[in-house]
């Protein structure tokens, strides 16, 4: 009888320990960055069009034009990155070329949008900048509290 009780207690202890380890691993996983999915250039361009469509309600003609512009920008940025791949000393040059390509894209897209759509896009961008600023302010306040308490 004693052997059965001891065996049951040991089995319970092992099961509890295994469950605790599984729960700890499950809790640790969400804090890690999930792996980004690799999208094709066409999928990335479509994602850009969809995002802009949610904000500005694009017409079908505008959608096709924006997708063409997005594909051109994506391929241009890819070419620039390949050109400077492995050249840490040229990182700033690459960054400036990428920014120029993105600025050209934004300028071209703005030319396609109607004034009402452009206002919606500007309002959304302003809203996102404000949210980002608020997030930074909250993070910096937390950092200051930590520094004071150290």
- 61-80, pLDDT tens digit by residue? 999 999 999 999 999 999 99
CB 105 within 8 A of CB 48: no
Report pTM: 0.64
- pLDDT tens by residue, 10-58: 667 767 776 766 555 555 455 566 677 888 999 999 999 999 999 999 9
Helix, strand, coil distribution of the chain in percent, nearest 5: 85, 0, 15
CB 101 within 8 A of CB 77: yes
9 Cα distance to chain centroid: 49
To the nearest 10°, the Cα dihedral for 101, 103, 109, 110?
Answer: -160
Which residues are CB-contacts of 63 (< 8 A; sequence separation ≥ 6)? 49, 53
């Amino acid at each position: 009888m004693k052997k059965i009780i001891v065996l049951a207690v040991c089995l319970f202890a092992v099961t509890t320990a295994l469950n605790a380890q599984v729960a700890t691993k499950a809790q640790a996983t969400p804090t890690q960055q999930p792996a980004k999915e690799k999208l094709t250039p066409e999928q990335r361009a479509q994602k850009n069009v969809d995002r802009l469509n949610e904000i500005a309600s694009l017409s079908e003609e505008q959608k096709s034009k924006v997708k063409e512009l997005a594909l051109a920008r994506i391929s241009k940025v890819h070419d620039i990155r390949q050109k400077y791949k492995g050249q840490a000393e040229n990182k700033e040059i690459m960054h400036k070329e990428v920014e120029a390509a993105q600025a050209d894209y934004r300028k071209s897209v703005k030319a396609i949008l109607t004034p009402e759509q452009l206002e919606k896009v500007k309002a959304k961008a302003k809203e996102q900048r404000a949210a980002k600023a608020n997030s930074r302010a909250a993070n910096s306040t937390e950092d200051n509290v930590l520094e004071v308490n150290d």
